[in-house]
Structure 1
Amino acid sequence: MSETMAVRCPECGREHQYAAPAYPCACGTPVAPPLNRRAAPVCVTHRTWDEDWVTVRCGSCGRADQWPHPELGCSCGTVLRVPVTAAAQPSGAGGGDPAEPPVEAPAASRATFQPVTIRTARDAVTAVALYLRWLGYKDIRRADQRQPHGIGLAARGVLVQVHPLVQPAAPRDVECLWLTAMAESCDCVCFTLAGYTDDARDRADGLGVALFVLDLTGTPQPVNAAAVELVATGAGT
């Protein structure tokens, strides 16, 4: 069970009892960021990728992964970033991440995916990042190249578009993602909340782009053969 601590809003003075959400490690153990009781919460006024994610180490297997930084919405409208204690760097670690075990490719070896409820565009990005990690991808980050619509993520060997808009993704969205991925010599995957037009699905099938639809529980559903194959095989080694 996640630890609970009192968090006081610096804007209105209200006090909240807060418990950090737990996420499943690759070994299946629920992992929650350790809360820092000595530090004060910070009001979120703008967002960056580095501040929105925090490194947390699993107490069972020792694996260190990045998870969404705990946040609390106060009733006054202020969003608070709850302080946490960062994971210690493994001894002898230099560049890279030598403490991480190899990625497990077979689908049967993965624990059941635990989704996060989607209420905002940021929730959709968080859900996709967690799903990519569940599939076995590493080094998940914001993509360097912007897409015409949606939010770009990247990991080792893959470029991802998260399309949190209310309109179905169009063929141009699929084509732009595929062209950018081809330039970087990597695979590409698209996630949307509103689905795809028939032309977009046909174009994706012709280009081999994996398509997923996100429901509001945060669970991605494959909608073409490339996506079904990705779920079955995972990210590979």
Structure 2
Amino acid sequence: MTESVPVRCPVCRRDHLFAAPVYPCPCGAPLAAPLLRAARPEPITHRTWTDDWVTVRCPECDRQDQWPQPELGCPCGTVLRVPVRPVGTRSPSAPVEGPSRLRRPWHIPLPRTAVAARPSFRPVTIRTARDAVTAAALYLRWLGFRDVIQPEVRPVSGIDLRGPGIVAQVDPTTRPANLRAVECLWLNGLNSSSASVFFSLAGYADDARARADQLGVPLFVMDLTGCPQPINAPADELVSTGV
């Protein structure tokens, strides 16, 4: 079972229970970064690709690889970096496994807000800005939007994804998405009679978040695992109901 740790946002003081995403190791074993329970999460105000990756050792094959640093999108708009135990250390509460101990099978639950009939979302790791757009497109298709496409060259409008009844913008930069970006996306959706959805890697400015709530624009925060997290009520509703 994936380890969950309590995480408190240092900005709004909201408490969360967070579990690191699970990925398949090349050996086939499901693997999650071991979280450091006693460490304080840090708000991400500036991104570097070096800081966004951590070394994780597979307990099955002993292989060490670089995995995305676990991140949590708080509803207040802050994106938190959740610390990971360094390779070579063990959780004080973790049992020592002898050679004859049988490991229990892993189980990856659906997101708590997902519709029961919907299969689990299969993300793609984000390493480039293009990967972020691809991850958002996959997520929209998972929600039920069909024929979502991404242009080869980003248009002047800033719309990264289009499909029947949907337009979406993806901000892969290290700055929180601003008010103008949210309003421009909403206007594009209004002009084409489409729903508008925003995805951001670095969260949203306070005024952008407030305006999105007023306009009913779903806001999602993405981490490098490629798993979008809803951070406002319209986004929660979209995840719960789908298309």
Q: Which residue of 2 aligns with 1:152?
A: 160
Paired amino acid for 1:221: Q
Q: Alignment partner of 1:154: what SS?
A: strand
Runs of 4+ aligned residues of structure 1 deviating over 6 Å after TM superposition are: none
The alignment status of 1:166 with 2:174, answered yes or no, reads yes
Q: Which residue of 1 aligns with 2:36?
A: none
Q: Alignment partner of 1:199: what SS?
A: helix
CA RMSD of superposed structures (Å) = 2.1
Q: CA deviation at 1:229?
A: 0.2
Residues 140 and 188 (structure 1), Cα distance of their counterparts in 2 relative to 1, 3 Å cut: same
Q: Alignment partner of 1:189: what SS?
A: strand
Q: Which residue of 2 aligns with 1:119?
A: 127
| Structure 2: distance between partners of 1:199 and 1:129 | 26
Residues 113 and 107 (structure 1), Cα distance of their counterparts in 2 relative to 1, 3 Å cut: same
Q: CA deviation at 1:232?
A: 0.3
Q: Which residue of 1 aligns with 2:232?
A: 224
Q: CA deviation at 1:148?
A: 5.4
Q: Which residue of 2 aligns with 1:196?
A: 204
Sequence identity, in percent? 58
| Structure 2: distance between partners of 1:107 and 1:129 | 19
Q: Alignment partner of 2:160: what SS?
A: strand
Higher relative contact order (CA closer than 8 Å, sequence separation 6+): 2
Q: Which residue of 2 aligns with 1:137?
A: 145
Q: Which residue of 2 aligns with 1:183?
A: 191
Residues 147 and 213 (structure 1), Cα distance of their counterparts in 2 relative to 1, 3 Å cut: farther
| Structure 2: distance between partners of 1:145 and 1:128 | 15
The alignment status of 1:107 with 2:115, answered yes or no, reads yes
Q: CA deviation at 1:107?
A: 1.5
Residues 147 and 170 (structure 1), Cα distance of their counterparts in 2 relative to 1, 3 Å cut: farther
Q: Which residue of 1 aligns with 2:11?
A: none
Paired amino acid for 1:175: E
What do the CA deviations read for 1:67-123 (whole angstroms, capped 9, x no partner)?
xxxxxxxxxxxxxxxxxxxxxxxxxxxxxxxxxxxxxxx811111111111110111
CA contact (8 A) 1:116 1:218 kept: yes
Matched length: 130
| Structure 2: distance between partners of 1:112 and 1:219 | 11
Q: Alignment partner of 1:162: what SS?
A: strand
Q: Alignment partner of 2:170: what SS?
A: strand
Gap runs ≥5 in structure 2: 1-113
| Structure 1: distance between partners of 2:184 and 2:121 | 29
What TM-score do you get using the length of structure 2 for normalisation? 0.51
Paired amino acid for 1:107: V
Q: CA deviation at 1:146?
A: 3.0
Paired amino acid for 2:173: L
| Structure 2: distance between partners of 1:186 and 1:173 | 17
